[in-house]
Amino acid sequence: MPKAETPNYLAVQTVAVTASDAGARLDRWFQRHIPELGHGRLQKLLRTAQVKVDGSRATASQRLEAGQTIRIPPLPGLGEKREPKKPAAVTEGKDAADLVARVLYRDEDVIALNKPSGLAVQGGTGTAKHIDGMLDALRFGADARPRLVHRLDRDTSGVLLLARTARAAAFLAKAFQGRNVRKTYWALTRGVPSPRAGTIDVPLAKAEGPMGGERMEESEEGDRAVTDYRVVEDLVRAAWVELMPLTGRTHQLRAHMAAIGTPIVGDRKYGGSEAVLPGIAPKLHLHAAALALRLPSGKQWHVTAPLPEHMRATWKLMGFAEKPQRHGEGRRPARSVRAPRRHSG
């Protein structure tokens, strides 16, 4: 069915997924195209099977493919003929120059950025400045702006991959969906994980946090979430931990480290007061340090990103090394080791 150009929220709509949205989660698609719907209302529509993909029941985390159709039920209260919000094109100025300076790698298919901590990848309520709104600054002579193919939390820094063509976007979306991408994160944890290397296999589900807002919590009814980890260096009160997520759940690394009793420093959402270390910047100490995958060209490729300023200062204070290892040099933790399941409290 054709895509509805002017949505009529009082009637059922059937919208086709475009190439630029291939690989996006269903809830991110709604956030991008119908941001006024809101997460809570979307979840209710999904639970009652009113939103469908290709005629089948859908989930918020479902990854979309180009050409699929999304059934949108009547949405009274949103008004008629409301256009989806589009990011403002930013092509020059300090923000654009800073984004260009953060390019780690570029070829005809992809661009890798070192995303700063505190900058959102996409817009939302109260978010005026975000990477999606500045992608035109990264055209580098191409006819189209690059496309997002995965996400990082606002406060997580590090490698963010962009596709420069529709073909590359489809290729990379399939790679991320198929878990053919090796992602390595660095974190500073409050306390030292025990055992020092292992696998955290704790299912996660969305829940309301104690102070309001949404968070992920351990739940047998949640989606499976698996993280390999190893302690690289440690002091008595903190540890530098390398994290390798094998699944891609929302806030997975933050929730998992809190679940085993060693929250990431600066992560008050999951660690509360236990995530604070005296003398250490209160910012989230989580960094996407490396990414490895096969590019659309067929090249086996990896890229690393230097630490953000606040983590560099912490690493210096702790006496840790600053330069990331070449991806794949570190030993992968034994899969037979299981981290204990503990609630974060």
At how many degrees (to 10) do helices 26-33 and 39-47 cross? 130
What's residue 208's pLDDT?
A: 73
| 221: pLDDT strictly greater than 90 | no
C-alpha of 45 from chain center: 24
Amino acid at 195: P
- At 84, the pLDDT band (50, 70, 90 cuts) reads very low
Q: Which domains does the chain have, with CATH numbers?
A: 13-72 (3.10.290.10), 94-177 (3.30.2350.10), 182-318 (3.30.2350.10)
- At 33, the pLDDT band (50, 70, 90 cuts) reads confident
Higher pLDDT, 124 or 154: 154
C-alpha of 149 from chain center: 10
Dist CA 121 CA 43 (whole Å): 22
| 73: pLDDT strictly greater than 80 | yes
User: What's the whole-number mean pLDDT along residues 320-336?
Assistant: 51
What's residue 338's pLDDT?
A: 43
What's residue 89's pLDDT?
A: 55
| 344: pLDDT strictly greater than 50 | no
The pLDDT mean for the chain works out to: 85
What's residue 87's pLDDT?
A: 47
pLDDT 10s digits, 88-145: 555 557 888 999 999 999 999 999 999 999 999 987 766 778 899 899 999 999 988 9
Cβ distance 28 to 151 under 8 Å? yes
Residue 151 CB contacts under 8 Å (≥ 6 apart), including other chains:
28, 121, 122
Dist CA 33 CA 8 (whole Å): 13
Please confirm, yes or no, whether 27 is among the known catalytic residues: no
Helix (H, G, I), strand (E, B) or coil at 311: helix
Of the candidates 239, 221, 220, 223, which has an alpha carbon nearest to the alpha carbon of residue 231?
Answer: 239
What's residue 291's pLDDT?
A: 96
Dist CA 137 CA 123 (whole Å): 17
Angle at the Cα of 226 from the Cα atoms of 220 and 228, rounded to 5 degrees: 145
User: What's the whole-number mean pLDDT along residues 227-254?
Assistant: 94
Q: Which residue among 153, 155, 228, 234 is the active-site one?
A: 153
| 323: pLDDT strictly greater than 60 | yes
Dist CA 185 CA 243 (whole Å): 5
The DSSP bridge partners found for residue 5 are none
| 282: pLDDT strictly greater than 90 | yes
pLDDT 10s digits, 170-215: 999 889 887 789 999 999 999 999 999 999 999 999 887 665 567 8
Q: What is the CA radius of gyration of the chain?
A: 20
Dist CA 27 CA 46 (whole Å): 10
| 10: pLDDT strictly greater than 50 | yes
Residue with tokens 């090249």: 299
| 18: pLDDT strictly greater than 70 | yes
User: What's the whole-number mean pLDDT along residues 258-276?
Assistant: 94
Higher pLDDT, 57 or 209: 57
Percentage of the chain modeled with pLDDT above 70: 85
